[in-house]
Each structure stands twice: as C-alpha cells, then as structure tokens.
Amino acid sequence: MDKLKLEILTPNGEIFNDEVISVVLPGKEGEFGVLAHHACLATLLEAGVIDIEKIDKTIESVLINWGMVQVDENKIIVLVEGAVAIRGESESAIAGALEEAKELISDIADANPAIAIVSSKIELAAQRLL
Amino acid sequence: MANLKDIQRQIKSVSNTQKTTRAMKLVSTAKLRRADELAKRSRLYATKMNQVIAEIAGRIKCNKVGGIDNRYFVEIENPKMVDIVFVTADKGLCGGFNIQTIKAVKKLLKEYKDENVKVRLRGIGKKGIEFFKYNEVELFDSVINLSSKPDKVRSDEFIATSIEDYKDGKIDGLHIIYNGFKNMMTQELHVMKLLPVDTKQFECGEAQNSVLEIEAQDEEHMLDSLVNKYVGFSMYYSLIDSVAAEHSARMQAMDTATNNASDMVRSLNVKFNKARQAAITTELIEIISGVESMK
C-alpha cells in the first residue's frame, strides 16, 4: 500500500508527524479524503475531526478548530490553530484527552449544530479506543 | 583622610550596583527560559506556515494556479505607501537590543524615502517609540505593554489595521522589523516583508510541475483568510521571539555589567589600600619629625 507523510502542526507544537495510509479532513466545502498521489491542493479546514488511518490500519482522530491544509503528491501539511489528539495509553489518559477536546469545542464560537456533530464524533472516536 | 572616605563610599556604591545587576541577570535568565519555551513551541509552526505560504505564492507567480490575480501575492509596481511595524522592548538596559532594531528601521525608512514612497511607521514597544518621538519622526500609531506581554488578541487587533488597509489599497506593502532570538548569546535581526508575500526565493522549477488546485468555491475568500492568519501569526510570533531575544540580551548585558563592577571594586580596593598606606606613612613622618624637633 502506498504511503503518504502527514504533518499536523499547531502554534503549541507538533501533534502528528508520521507516514499514514489515508487521511480524512474536514474541509470548508465538506469532508474529503486524501490517499497517496493525490493532486496538489490547498484549502481551508473547518472545525471538525481529522481521521488518520495509520500504517497499522488503526484510526486516530484529531480534533481541530480551524486550519489550512496543503496537499502535495506524497506529503500533507496541516496547520491548525487549536487541536487535541484523541489518544492515550490508559483509559484515564484518553478520558483526559476527551475532556480537553470538549473544552476546545466549547471554545469554538461556531454555529451550534456543527458543534453537536463534532462532539458526537469524538465521543465515537474515544469509544473505539476504550 | 577625606580621600579615604571618598574611596570607601565609591566602593560601596559600586558593589550596590553590582547587586542590582546580578539580580537583574538572574531575573532575565528565569524569564528567558519561559519565553524561549514559548517561542520554541511556535517556531516549527511559524516555519511551516512561511513555507506553505511561500509555496502558494510561488505557484501563483509561476502561473501554476489558473488565473489568480490576488493583491496579496502580486508584487505591486510603484508602491505609494507602505507600513513598517517595528518591535522593540518596553524597557532598556539590554545592550544594543533596541538600537539594532531602530537602526534597521531608519535604514529602511531612508530607502523608501529615496524612492519617494511614503511610510507609515507603526511602533510596538516603548523604547523605539520614545526614540522616534524624540527625533521627531512621525508615528502612525503605537502601542506599549504589548512587546513585554505578547497577547494574541491584542497583536491581532493591532495588525488588522494594516491588513485591512492593504486590502483596501491604502497601503502597498507591510514590513515587520524585530530582533529575534538566535541562541543564548546572540540575537538576530529580522526584516520581514509580509505583504505582498515575498516570492523572490521561490524559483519556477521543474520540481513543481503539478498544478496547485485551490479547493474552495471562493478562492479570493480562501486566500484572504489564509493571508490574515499568516500575517496575524507572523506578528504574534515576532512578538514572542522578540521577548525571548530581549531577555537574552538583557541577561548578557547584565552579566557584563556585573563583571565590570567586580573589576571596578577590585581596582578601587587597591586604590583604597594605597591611600591608607600613604596616610599611615604621612602620620609616622609627622610623629618622627615632631620627636626630632623636640631634641
């Protein structure tokens, strides 16, 4: 399977930097998936969840509040303002990340329905891990 | 004898100054650690952001993006008015930190004056503002207390004026000048050209053959918000970088001052001992010659 490199950066540091199989991004015009050899593209991201399919086929989710993405043939750079990765070794760590994610969502001053969808999505992502 | 007292007073005053400078050095070291931590975390983001913007700008320049004529990315011929934003510290006692920035601003001002371009000078930081006020250089606006306590909201508010004016065509360029942190010992002066996005470094090569698509219904809007974020973050990053540099400069200046003070105390001590010895000798001679004359 072809791989592509994904980097997710926030002003507070790097959240993700690894090779992945595919990524689903919450674009301004709707969600879109990116596989290797995708056409070059630049667009804005909305508040939402980035789903990352890693090399070992597990899925990791990262919650973001605003961002921009630049897709090159085999490289994706995602610059986001605020992000929380839903991951952790233990249950308590995951619960902590979830708590953080909820906080980030409440900070987003967007329309309410969108937030509701996002929060249900991260709940799902956390349940997958628990 | 008065001489001895004088020297003693001097020694005391110099060692008091030394105490102050040493304390200031310690304070700066502690603050530097915090400021550098903050800057370090953002550094990667800032670099990548510059990279991405430069690439988009470069592709627009090389016409790899179909028919976009965006004011942010196209070099403006015959600019009439430009904004220069400079960041200095609110406080002094940090060596050549502020004057370096001021010199760079003056140089750029002169360059634009020679080209007959009007400049709006916007200042952040008390020291630079005071300098230009004293030299009767007109400032368009100025803020204090922002460079010592970088705050994203206030920095966004400040730079928004420039972005708006650029968009409306009131100004044709935007520069930020600040002194950034390189390492504990050195600062690095940055003169950044933010608007229009600098595309000089980007060469239209074979490597970027594929066409960049901008996926949005409204390209203009997308580039607008992209540039907004880019300029906003660059402003904020220059503030936090400048704080780190300020503390490192102050730490160094205060370290030198402390060393100078101890050198001074040492030489004053020698002077004091010599003067004391001279006084004793004079006294002895007086007694001896008194006794001699009694004989």
Reported ipTM: the value is 0.76
- Number of domains chain B contains: 2
With cut-offs at 50, 70 and 90, classify the pLDDT of residue A28.
Answer: confident
> What average pLDDT does the segment B69-73 reach?
75
With cut-offs at 50, 70 and 90, classify the pLDDT of residue B215.
Answer: low
List chain A residues with CB under 8 Å of B229.
66, 68, 81
* pLDDT per position as a tens digit, B45-59: 998 888 888 888 777
Of A75-84, A100-109, B94-103, B223-232, where does the model show the most confidence?
Answer: B94-103
Q: Please check whether residues B141 and B91 belong to one and the same domain.
A: yes
Q: Please check whether residues B92 and B195 belong to one and the same domain.
A: yes
- Reply yes or no on domain A1-130 having CATH 3.40.50.300: no
Q: Please check whether residues B243 and B282 belong to one and the same domain.
A: no
Structure tokens at A109: 């001053």
Which candidate, A82, A77, A70, A65, places its Cα nearest to that of A26? A65
Distance CA B127, CA B86 (A): 11
Q: Please check whether residues B194 and B259 belong to one and the same domain.
A: no
Distance CA A108, CA A66 (A): 9
CB contact under 8 Å between B229 and A68, yes or no, is yes
Question: Which segment of B181-190, B265-274, B277-286 scores lowest on mean pLDDT?
Answer: B181-190
pLDDT at B79 over 70: yes
B251 neighbors B36 (Cβ within 8 angstroms): no
Q: Please check whether residues B261 and B142 belong to one and the same domain.
A: no
Q: What is the largest CA-CA distance in chain B?
A: 117
Q: Please check whether residues B115 and B261 belong to one and the same domain.
A: no
With cut-offs at 50, 70 and 90, classify the pLDDT of residue B65.
Answer: low
Q: Is A15 helix (H, G, I), strand (E, B) or coil?
A: strand
pLDDT at B193 over 80: yes
Select from B41, B212, B222 the Cβ nearest to the Cβ of A13.
Answer: B41
Model pLDDT, residue A113: 64
CB contact under 8 Å between A40 and B225, yes or no, is no
> What average pLDDT does the segment B124-129 reach?
93
Query: How far is B100 from chain A, CA to nearest CA, in Å?
Result: 28
Structure tokens at B164: 């708006």
B89 neighbors B102 (Cβ within 8 angstroms): no
Q: Please check whether residues B169 and B283 belong to one and the same domain.
A: no
Residue among B52, B70, B152 with most chain A CBs within 10 A, to mutate: B52
Q: How many CB atoms lie within 10 A of CB A112?
A: 7
CATH number at residue B131: 3.40.1380.10
Q: Please check whether residues B15 and B142 belong to one and the same domain.
A: no
pLDDT at A85 over 60: yes
Q: When comparing pLDDT for B142 and B67, which is higher? A: B142
A9 touches chain B (CB under 8 A): yes
Structure tokens at B136: 């009767």
% of chain B beyond a pLDDT of 90 = 53
Model pLDDT, residue B189: 92
pLDDT at B291 over 90: yes
Distance CA B115, CA B117 (A): 6
Distance CA A80, CA A62 (A): 11
Q: When comparing pLDDT for A120 and A39, which is higher? A: A39
| Structural domain harbouring B39 | 24-201+209-252
A65 touches chain B (CB under 8 A): no
Q: Which residues does B237 contact at the CB level (< 8 Å), separation at least 6?
A: B39, B42, B43, B46
The β-bridge relationship of strands A48-54 and A13-27 is antiparallel
Which candidate, A3, A40, A6, A11, places its Cα nearest to that of A25? A6
Q: Please check whether residues B106 and B231 belong to one and the same domain.
A: yes
List chain B residues with CB under 8 Å of A29.
215-217
Model pLDDT, residue B90: 92
Q: Please check whether residues B259 and B214 belong to one and the same domain.
A: no
List chain B residues with CB under 8 Å of A80.
none
Quote the pTM value. 0.84
With cut-offs at 50, 70 and 90, classify the pLDDT of residue B106.
Answer: very high
Q: Please check whether residues B161 and B273 belong to one and the same domain.
A: no
With cut-offs at 50, 70 and 90, classify the pLDDT of residue B212.
Answer: low
**For residue B79, which phi and psi values (nearest 5 degrees)?**
-65, 145
Distance CA A51, CA B54 (A): 27
CB contact under 8 Å between B213 and A13, yes or no, is no
